[in-house]
Amino acid sequence: MNISNDILYIGVNDRKLDLFEGQYPVPNGMSYNSYIILDEKIAVMDTADAHFINEWMENLQAVLGDRTPDYLVVHHMEPDHSAGIRLFADTYPEAKIVASARAFAMMKNFFGTDFAGRQVTAAEGSTLSLGRHELTFLTAPMVHWPEVIVTYDAADKVLFSADGFGKFGTWDTQEPWADEARRYYIGIVGKYGAQVQALLKKAAGLEIKAICPLHGPVLTGDLSEYLRLYDIWSAYRAEEDGVVIAYTSVYGNTKKAALQLAEKLTAAGSTVKVYDLARCDMSQAVADAFRYSRLVLATTTYNGDIFPFMKQFIDHLTERGFANRTVAFIENGSWAPVAARIMQGMLEKCRNLTFAANSVKILSAPDEATDTQLNALCAELR
């Protein structure tokens, strides 16, 4: 795949991976993207995951032919991108390693060496000339590790964006970009919205024709929608108007109330997404909680607390900076229901949440009083 006449793709697709980072289902696999810039001097942009190092090296050498690279640019030290640094350094002993100062410190942790004598330290605004291609490095700390840099190529107007603008799925997976990019962003980068906003401000001053992330497809053409979504996600604004109902249920009674509310809201014209937190892809439920403007949490009181899957779900929200939403509660308890109070307490650290005036309390099983409360909550949320 050619990004331009001089910039080629040399990454790999992982079609066997089931869980990315040990927790995110990836039914369409994952790509570990790497690129090469061919000029008077040659720069390789990142390596790949350890399971694919030999394939990556074959891709690199097929493009190089009888030439040798001058630089390896390391944007991010997470092992799915940096595992080949040692192999590259051993194979091309004259090549320099370009990275942030923090990245070199991490290399010593990973490889037992920081490649002293071969370092080119990339700082904010520093440049590297390859000939026609002038590379400018921008620091992107905590997007989503502290050592991250991104690179802008002024010649072909390409932004090498590290993990930014990545998505789940191989680079050639045919599917809507936003769905898996959203799940990826919220799960992987979501905690660091302020840092992403800072990077977006830097990128706003650049003319960008292509974005080359470390995961997923290269983005070309009209980039405005990708930038718009990243701005929304990193500012923790609701992307769409709608209601997510996330529930746990032991014997089906809380589920029954949750589904009744969903039917009422749908009949009233609302977009509704319902998740059984014990059985769904938790990362998808979390992503949709950030996608839509309103959230209903329904669970049982359990051991004087709340059901474990609901606690896990709320923890995912709070650690990723959940904000700027309306939240409502449905609680169930046979003798001492406290779930609503506990759920609200867990969320009170979040910014700009509006808690619905109406809530639903079920005493063991839904009844006429439950239906009345559901109607009131529906009227408030629709």
What are the distances in angstroms from CA 207 to CA 203, 204, 223? 8, 8, 11
Beta bridge partners of 274: 245
From the candidate CATH numbers 3.40.50.1820, 3.40.50.2300, 3.40.50.360, 3.40.50.720, the one assigned to the domain spanning 240-381: 3.40.50.360
Look at residue 263 in the predicted model and tell me its pLDDT.
Answer: 98
Look at residue 23 in the predicted model and tell me its pLDDT.
Answer: 94
Q: Which amino acid is at 59?
A: N
* Rounded CA separation 237/182 (Å): 13
Of the candidates 99, 223, 79, 209, the residue with the CA atom closest to the CA atom of residue 165 = 223
Query: What's domain 7-234's architecture?
Result: 4-Layer Sandwich (3.60)
Look at residue 336 in the predicted model and tell me its pLDDT.
Answer: 87
pTM of the model: 0.94
CB 277 within 8 A of CB 306: no
* For the chain, domain boundaries: 7-234, 240-381
Look at residue 113 in the predicted model and tell me its pLDDT.
Answer: 97
Look at residue 322 in the predicted model and tell me its pLDDT.
Answer: 98
**Residue 260, token pair as written in the block:** 């009744």
Look at residue 189 in the predicted model and tell me its pLDDT.
Answer: 95
* Rounded CA separation 165/185 (Å): 8
Q: Largest Cα–Cα distance in the chain?
A: 79
* Rounded CA separation 355/327 (Å): 5
What are the distances in angstroms from CA 378 to CA 100, 126, 268, 381? 52, 55, 8, 5
Look at residue 198 in the predicted model and tell me its pLDDT.
Answer: 97
For residue 238, the tally of other CB atoms under 10 A from its CB is: 17
pLDDT tens for each residue of the chain, 382 residues long: 899 999 999 999 999 999 999 999 999 999 999 999 999 999 999 999 999 999 999 999 999 999 999 999 999 999 999 999 999 999 999 999 999 999 999 999 999 999 999 999 999 999 999 999 999 999 999 999 999 999 999 999 999 999 999 999 999 999 999 999 999 999 999 999 999 999 999 999 999 999 999 999 999 999 999 999 999 999 999 999 999 999 999 999 999 999 999 999 999 999 999 999 999 999 999 999 999 999 999 999 999 999 999 999 999 999 999 999 999 999 999 988 999 999 999 999 999 999 999 999 999 999 999 999 999 999 999 9
